[in-house]
Amino acid sequence: MASVVTGVAGFIGSSLAEKLLDRGEQVIGIDCFIDYYPRALKEKNLQGLLANARFRFIEQNLVDVDLASLLADVDIVYHQAAQAGVRASWGKDFSIYTRNNILATQRLLEALKGTKIKLINASSSSVYGEVVTLPMRETDIPQPVSPYGVTKLAAEHLCCLYARNYGVEAVSLRYFTVYGPRQRPDMAFHRFIKAMLRGEEIEIYGNGEQTRDFTYIQDAVSANLLAGERGQRGEVYNIGGGARITVNNVLELLERLTEKPAKVRHREPQKGDVTHTYADTQKAQDDLLFKPTTTLEDGLKRQIEWMQKEILPFQF
C-alpha cells in the first residue's frame, strides 16, 4: 500500500504516518509548515519519519502542489492538513482558513475524480455547534459556532458532493478534541500541563464547567486505518474517546498525576467555543469497528511523560 498523508508534520499527521510505516507501507508526506505554531516542533515530529527509507517528504502547500504527480501510484490519501484553531479563526486570518481548509480540500477532490484512490478527510466535532441533545449524532443538523467549524463543515460537504456526483471514495472523520504526545501547543492539555510543571498560571475560559469528549491520539490514528479499510463512500463518522469530562475535572486529574497544584485564573468564555461535546460513536462502531481503547488517565500520563521529555527542557 502507498499512502499520502497531508499535514504530515502536524500532531495527528505525523502520528498516523508513523503507524503506516510500522505496518510496512510506503508513505508520501506533505506539509507546508503553516505558521501557526513553531516550525521546530513540527520538525521534531518529522524526525523519525525522515529516517525511514519508505517515507518521502514534500514541503509544499496543497493549494500549489502538482496533485497529478503527488497522487500517481497512491491507494489512499489521509487528509490531515488544515489551518487548526477554533478560537483563532475570527478576523483577518479567516482567508487562511478558507484557503487551507476549503480550497485545498476541493483541489484534492477534483484531482481524485475518476480515480479509485480513497480519501480520509479529517473533520471536527466543531461542525456541530451547540446541539440540544447529547450525545452528538451524525444525523444532527450541523450548526457550527466558529468560523473554523464553518470551514471544516464546508470541506466535509464537498467530500459528500464529490462522492455522490463523481464517485470519489471520500470519508470524513469528525475528531473530538484529540490529545496525547505531540498535541499542538495551543490546545488545552498542552497548555495546562506546561503551566503546571513550570509553576505558571493556567487560564480557564469561563467557569470550567464546559465538557469535552477527549480522544487519545492512537485511537484517532486507529480510526483512520479502519476508515481506510471499511469507511463507506460519502459518509461521516464521529470519532470520540468516550470520556466526557469537565475542564475543571481534568485539572483535578492533572493535579493528581503531576503532583503539582493548578494555579487557575478565569477568563471570559471564548467566542466560537462550544459548551459541550460528546460523541455518539455507534456508527463508527458499526461500519468501521472503531472502539477507543485508551482511558483519559492513561492518555494523560503519556502526554505528561512526553512533555517532560520533549517540551519542558526546550524553549517551545
The residue to which cell 501547543 is assigned: 185
Binding characters for ligand UGA, 3-42, by CB under 6 A (x = yes): ----------------------------------------
Q: Binder to ligand UGA among 52, 61, 98, 270 (CB under 6 A)? A: 270
**Contact range with ligand UGA by CB under 6 A, out of 38-46, 69-77, 170-178, 218-226:** 170-178
User: Is 148 tagged catalytic?
Assistant: yes
* Separation CA 312–CA 316 (nearest Å): 8
Q: Which of 36, 78, 148, 237 is catalytic?
A: 148
Report the greatest alpha carbon distance in the chain: 57
Minimal distance in Å, beta carbon 210 to ligand UGA?
Answer: 4
Choose between 26 and 80: whose C-beta lies nearer to ligand UGA. 80
Q: Given candidates 86, 131, 163, 243, which one binds ligand UGA under the rule CB under 6 A?
A: 86
| 105 touching ligand UGA, by CB under 6 A | no
The residues, ordered by sequence, that sit 6+ positions from 157 with a Cβ below 8 Å of its Cβ are: none
> How far is the C-alpha of 15 from the C-alpha of 11, rounded, in Å?
6
Give me the least distance between CB of 69 and ligand UGA, in Å please. Answer: 30
Between 232 and 270, CB nearer to ligand UGA: 270
Smallest gap from Cβ 84 to ligand UGA, in A, equals 4
Please report whether residue 100 would count as binding ligand UGA according to CB under 6 A.
Answer: no
Which residues are designated catalytic?
A: 148
Residues in the site for ligand UGA, rule: CB under 6 A?
A: 84, 86, 124-126, 175-177, 187-188, 191, 203-205, 210, 212, 247, 270, 273
